[in-house]
Amino acid sequence: MKNMKLTIFTRLIISYLAIILLIICLGVYAFLRLNQVNQIINYIILVDDATTSITSELKDYILTQLEFEEKFFVLKDQDFYMHFWKSENYFPNAIEKLKVIADTSYKRQLVNDAKNAYSLYLSLFRKEAKTSLLNIDSNEESYKIYKKKKENLIAAIDQNLKQLVKIVERDRWKKTREASKISIEVIKVTTATVVLAVVMIIFISVINTRSINRPILLLKEKTKEVAKGRYPTPLAIISPPEIGELTTAFNDMCERLKELDDLKIDFISHISHKLRTPLTAIQEASGMLLDGFFTDMPEKQHELFLIIKEECRRLIDEVNRILDLSRMEAKMMDYHFEVTEIIPIIRKNVLKLSPLAQKRGIEFKMSLINELPPANIDQERIIQVVEELLGNALKFTPERGTITISASTNEKGTIEISVMDTGYGIPEKELERVFEKFKRIEGGRAAERGTGLGLSIAKHIITVHGGQIWAESKPGKGSTFSFTLPV
């Protein structure tokens, strides 16, 4: 877990998820709180405002009734009596509505008291009106008592309704304050969250940009160094995995370039040595001939001419190999394909190298299948490959060793040719790389060293033929070089 590094993609996803989560939380919070404000406002409209308006209508209604009542007692006109009772149900209905929306027992108590006072007033009026109409015991005194009682009842109704309105208004004020408090809180939280989100975005962007930018800048610096031909020590950068991979690739590239540089230096010194040896021999031999040495010994002179010829051939061979490889790499090599039998090519090569093998006490064994199918090949180039493999086997096999050449068709129907020796072998980690140009294995026999081009050329040739070439080896026991050719 400690070494687990987050990729740039994961980092960005986590960062943006955190911000989105924050904004969602803010949204939910604001929604709930504003919903609360909405409920309070609705309550004010549906309960408090309704109570106030019903109460005021009730008061108007009673005033109208009082007017009719007074006119009736003054004029004794039945019409006013009828008008008094006309909307008899209005008051109880309105009182019922008030009771329904009354949300405390005290409010309900006030409404009930008003209702009772009103009922008493009605029955009082009914009785007084009847007496007045029938003129039974009608006198000033009883009317005065009635009026007194009525005024008390109306005052009680008025008092109750006023008290109700007062409480409702106090409630409304409280609720408005609460709604305002919530709104301010929502504004504060929203502002704080927006500021936090902005800070988070800036922080995350800075962190991400830095973690991406810094290693890239470092890589840029190091790349410039490489361009100048200096190879930096491997970079160890703490960075997201994507850039980590880039760094590893960069380090590998530096290592490889350095290796190639070293190989180039090594190759130049080696090749100069390789060319100087025959050139020195030619110079010495021709100098002797020019100085008139062995003028009386034609057979010695002939020997010197032979040396010059042989050294010239070696020089040309060496230069040709270098030219061949550069042409192959530039894909400018000409190949002349024709359908050819392989076995005779192998036999011819073995025959050619037999004297050298005999001289070193090395035995050639052949395990060839005679009825190999012919293949479409460039004969010269395939001879070059077989020669290279046999030559290497001879070079790297000590005296009294054995070299076995086998040719067969494998299960895929392609021709497979192998050269197996009982030589020094190749360490496993070098097996793949012996086919790289200039590659010569350190710790091999210095005297036997070549230019490190032979196997690289062989690989080019076999690849162009559509085949494969590979090596197997057991250090100290021997190596087997094999290649395939499609039929």
Per rule CB under 6 A, is residue 441 in the interface with ligand ADP?
yes
Per rule CB under 6 A, is residue 439 in the interface with ligand ADP?
yes
Nearer Cβ to ligand ADP (373/450): 450
Nearer Cβ to ligand ADP (310/387): 387
Neighbour tally for 81: CB within 10 Å: 21
Residues in contact with 318: Cβ distance below 8 Å, sequence separation at least 6, in sequence order? 271, 274, 275, 451
Per rule CB under 6 A, is residue 275 in the interface with ligand ADP?
no
Shortest distance in whole angstroms from residue 451 CB to ligand ADP: 5
Closest CA to 443 of 455, 454, 453, 429: 429
Per rule CB under 6 A, is residue 216 in the interface with ligand ADP?
no
Nearer Cβ to ligand ADP (240/278): 278
Residues in contact with 163: Cβ distance below 8 Å, sequence separation at least 6, in sequence order? 110
Please give the Cα distance from 95 to 88 (Å, whole number): 12
Shortest distance in whole angstroms from residue 478 CB to ligand ADP: 7
Nearer Cβ to ligand ADP (65/384): 384
Shortest distance in whole angstroms from residue 458 CB to ligand ADP: 8
Pairing of strands 478-485, 415-421: antiparallel
Here the tokens at position 60 are 């108007």
- Segment near ligand ADP (CB under 6 A), from 72-80, 83-91, 208-216, 448-456? 448-456
Among 95, 396, 461, 462, binds ligand ADP (CB under 6 A): 396
Per rule CB under 6 A, is residue 424 in the interface with ligand ADP?
yes
3-state helix, strand, coil in the chain (%, to 5): 70, 10, 20
Shortest distance in whole angstroms from residue 465 CB to ligand ADP: 18
Q: Could you tell me which residues are beta bridge partners of residue 408?
A: 416
Which residue type sits at 452? Answer: G
Q: How far apart are the first and last CA of the chain?
A: 55
Nearer Cβ to ligand ADP (186/434): 434
Per rule CB under 6 A, is residue 393 in the interface with ligand ADP?
yes
Per rule CB under 6 A, is residue 459 in the interface with ligand ADP?
no
Q: Distance of CA 337 to CAs 32, 378, 380, 381, Å? A: 84, 4, 10, 10
- Segment near ligand ADP (CB under 6 A), from 7-15, 17-25, 175-183, 387-395? 387-395
Site residues (CB under 6 A) for ligand ADP? 388, 392-393, 396, 421, 423-424, 426, 434, 439-441, 444, 449-456, 479
